Structures are given as structure tokens and as C-alpha cells.
Structure 1
Amino acid sequence: MERGSTTFLKIAIFLIGAPVLAICVLLLPKIAMEAFEHAQDGAQLAYVVFTILFILYASAVPFYIALFQAFKLLNYIDKNEAFSQMSVDALTKIKTCGKIIFGLYIVALPFVYLVAEWDDAPGLIVINLVIVGASLLVAVFAAVLQRLLQQAINIKSENDLTV
């Protein structure tokens, strides 16, 4: 495989990770401070916002783990080790991270619904559902690729033994 195509994908991984990092570092602390001020006033909704913020930060961890595993997978492709157990392991971790993100955002859905009802912003629910769908899609796609890669490795090892 050409090195240019994996370089493009590596750059894409960084471009995907940068906005999420910016949101986690710049936007979410500002929202947390506003929610903290409202929580001191006794607003019950502030605790719902804290729960959502906790889930957002918690979902950033498997997100970056999955991005790192995708980066490792591209490095394996560059080294012509795409058909190895290391690639299968990377896809397994990506699948697991997708499942974790899916679960976290499913748990967040009722809290997002409460905030959307209070703020009259149904777009929040749509955003949450898009993230749920995307993480499920990544998990399923990684599972399919993992199974195909494992079968290819098994066929390759059988062919190596017959020769």
C-alpha cells in the first residue's frame, strides 16, 4: 500500500481528535462553571448538567484510545504487518471503545432529554442520537473487519503450513 494514503489517514485521525480535545479543554469547563454557579443557587438542573458533563469527559477516554488504536493499525499497514494478530487486537480494542461510547451516550440520553425539555432544544437529542449511531456503526464495522482479518490470518497460516 502506498505510504501517502496512510499518511492522509493519520492526518485525518489528528484532525478528528483536535476538535474533541478543544471541546474538552475549552468549552466543557466553561459549561461546568456555569452549572456550578446554578447549583449553588439550588437549581436541580445543574446536577443533571454535571452528570452529562461527566459522561462527556468519560467518553473522551475511549474515544482517544480508539483513535490511538487506529493510528497503530495504520502503522502496522505501513510496516506490511496488516495481517497480524496485532491488527486484530487493535480492531478488538476499537470495537470495545465503540461499545463503551455507545453505552455512555445511551445512559446520557434521559439526562439530555431533561436538558432539551428545559431549554426547548430538541437538537440536543438529535446530536446525542447521532453520536450513539456513529459509535455503534464504528463498533459493528470494527467487529466485521476483525472477523474478516482473523479469517484471513487463519487461511494464511493454513497455506503456510501446506507449503
Structure 2
Amino acid sequence: MNVKRGSTTFLKVIIFLVGVAILALCIWLPGAAIRDAGAHPDTAYFLIPFLACAYGFCATLSVALYQAYKLLTYIEKSNAFSELSLNSLKIIKKCAFTVIFIILLGLVNLKVLSKVTGDDPAGPTSLGLMGILAISIIIAAVDALQKPLKNFLEKGSE
């Protein structure tokens, strides 16, 4: 097995494991929401927006992981410099912006909940902002890959 195939296989396994973790989260969330609603019935109505954000986050992240898996498959087949790779990068970038939007919606919901309950939302807010920072780095990396690939394809079509 050559190095390129070994590294792409390793990355595919990591993507698969992250996908399994997302699936486990989606299975665990309703039970956790029901337990929380039972423990705090006065704020149970805030669980619906949080669940919507969580499932939107999971669905969007799943689409991005699938596109990353496809991109690794293109790289394995020596088809990295193709229109298909460029489309996968575009979809990953759109998913990243969508995840940032969903995190911001969750933070707004958290801020409203903190006004109602009087709790301090500093911890979850800082985690959300760190998530936005990490996703912004991913967007910059995808953009750095996308621009040369687009230029290569435009020069190749001339």
C-alpha cells in the first residue's frame, strides 16, 4: 500500500468514526431532552429550538463529511484536479457557513433562555464561539484549496 492510499484510508476511517459519533448523538438527544423537560418543566419549551439547532447541525455536518469522503475517493483515484472535486469543496464550504449560522441561532436561543432563568451562559457561549473559530479555519483551508483548483481547471479548459 502506498503512502497516498494509506493516508486517505486513515482519513476515511476518521470520517466514518465522526459519522458514527454524530449518529449516536442523534439517537441520544431525544432521551436527554425528555429527561431535561421532566427536570425543568418551566423552560421545557426552549428544548424545541435547541433540538432543531442540534439536528440541523448534525445533518449539515453529515453532508459535509460525505463530501469529504467523496473528495478523498477522488484523490485516491487520481482525480483530485477535476470539476467533481471542486463541487465537493463548494458543498463543504456551504455546509461550514450553515453550521456557523446554526451555532449562532443556538447562541441567540441560549441568551434568551439565560434571561428567563437568570443563569450565566458564559461557558456554552465560549464553546460556541470556539466552534465558530474552528469552522472559520476550515472555511479558510477549503478556500485555499478551492482557488488554485479553480484556476487549474480554467487553464485546462482553454
Per the alignment, residue 33 of structure 2 pairs with 32
Per the alignment, residue 85 of structure 1 pairs with 83
On the 8 A contact 2:110/2:121 being kept in 1, the answer is no
Could you tell me how far 1:56 is from its partner in structure 2?
Answer: 0.7
Number of equivalences: 154
Per the alignment, residue 11 of structure 2 pairs with 9
Supply the distance in 2 between the matched residues of 1:47 and 1:79 (Cα, whole angstroms): 49
Could you tell me how far 1:19 is from its partner in structure 2?
Answer: 1.9
On the 8 A contact 1:91/1:142 being kept in 2, the answer is yes
* Unaligned 5+ runs, structure 1: 159-163
Does residue 140 of the first structure (1) align with residue 140 of the second (2)? yes
Q: 1:115 to 1:23 in 2, by over 3 A?
A: farther
On the 8 A contact 1:49/1:115 being kept in 2, the answer is no
On the 8 A contact 1:102/1:132 being kept in 2, the answer is yes
On the 8 A contact 1:3/1:78 being kept in 2, the answer is yes
User: RMSD in angstroms over aligned alpha carbons?
Assistant: 2.1
> Counterpart of 1:83 in 2: which secondary structure?
coil
Deviations 1:42-85 (A, max 9, x none): x1x22223211210111111100000000000000011100000
- How high is the TM-score relative to the length of structure 1? 0.83
Could you tell me how far 1:2 is from its partner in structure 2?
Answer: 2.0
Q: 1:133 to 1:74 in 2, by over 3 A?
A: same
* Unaligned 5+ runs, structure 2: none
- How high is the TM-score relative to the length of structure 2? 0.85
> Counterpart of 1:2 in 2: which secondary structure?
helix
Could you tell me how far 1:147 is from its partner in structure 2?
Answer: 1.5
Deviations 1:82-118 (A, max 9, x none): 0000000000000000011111111111222345674
Taking only the aligned residue pairs, the percentage that are identical comes to 33
